[in-house]
Homo-oligomer: A and B are copies of this chain.
Amino acid sequence: MTDQDDALYGIKHLTPAECWDAIRSAEVGRLGVIIDGRPEIFPVNYTVDGETVVFRTGEGTKLDGALSGNPVVFEVDGLDPESKRAWSAVVKGEAGMPESTRDIVETLELPIFPWQGGIKSRYVRIVPDEVTGRRFRVQAGGAATPRR
């Protein structure tokens, strides 16, 4: 869509600072990774640490996918029922595990509480190349109907 369309339909692009505020306001995001040439999405509980996203996971495909060396994407969205505004934010970057002793110690102190039980001893940090987001008013009767 063009900027003109965005204005017409009440879509506001968020600044990176607004994106981080939005991301901090939620608890569940979705990690997107490529595994064997296919896209995969995993819901994760996360925390924001500075301008990075950190989550805990166990051994498995999610960890392998995140650390495959391929780029990852992380998406969060939400709806404010009062203002009827929906928002979404997308972080694109690289995922890695903390490596230095200091980073490991600091990471272990982060308040990350996965909803799902199980041993989740691995910490993964997404360092963004790009953070984008938008907010828009939810259309009462759906979006503009296409011409038929």
Binding site for B on A (CB under 8 A): 1, 5, 8-11, 28, 30, 32-34, 37-43, 56, 58, 60, 70-75, 77, 79, 86, 88, 90, 92, 108, 112-121, 136-139, 141-144, 146-148
Contact = CB atoms under 8 A, between A and B. Distances in A.
A148 B112 CA distance: 15
Most chain B CB inside 10 Å of its own CB: which residue of A42, A138, A143: A143
B138 A39 contact: no
A116 B73 contact: no
B121 A142 contact: no
Contact of A116 (B39, B58, B116, B136): B136
Given A41-B75, A43-B77, A58-B1, A118 B143 contact: yes
B39 A33 contact: yes
20 contacts: A1-B58, A28-B77, A30-B30, A34-B39, A39-B40, A40-B90, A41-B74, A41-B75, A41-B90, A79-B115, A86-B116, A108-B148, A113-B139, A113-B142, A114-B143, A116-B139, A117-B136, A118-B144, A119-B143, A119-B146
Contacts of A121: 146-147
Nearest to A112: B142
Given A116-B138, A119-B146, 14 more contacts: A11-B116, A28-B77, A37-B71, A38-B73, A42-B75, A43-B77, A56-B146, A86-B115, A113-B139, A114-B143, A116-B136, A116-B139, A117-B139, A120-B143
